Amino acid sequence: MASIANRRSVMVLYSDPVTPISHCVRIVLAEKDINVEINYVEGDNKPEELIELNPYNSVLTLIDRELVLYNAQIIMEYLDERFPHPPLMPVDPVSRAINRQFRYRVMRDLYKLVDDLDSDNDIASANARKIMRDNLTTIVPVFEQKPYFMSDEYSLIDCCMAPLLWRINTYGIKMPSSAKSLIKYGERLFEREAFQTSMSDTEREMNI
> pLDDT tens across 115-141, in order?
999 888 999 999 999 999 999 999 999
What is this structure's pTM? 0.92
pLDDT at 2: 47
Of 153, 79, 70, 165, residue with least CA distance to 114: 165
List the domains of the chain with CATH numbers. Answer: 2-82 (3.40.30.10), 93-191 (1.20.1050.10)
pLDDT at residue number 43: 79
Find the DSSP H helices in the chain. Answer: 2-6, 20-31, 48-53, 72-82, 93-109, 114-117, 122-138, 156-166, 168-171, 180-190, 193-198, 201-204
The whole-number pLDDT of residue 6 equals 52
What's the pLDDT score for residue 42? 87
pLDDT for residue 208: 56
* CA–CA gap between residue 85 and residue 107 (Å, rounded): 25
What does the mean pLDDT of the chain come to? 92
Averaged pLDDT, 141-165? 95
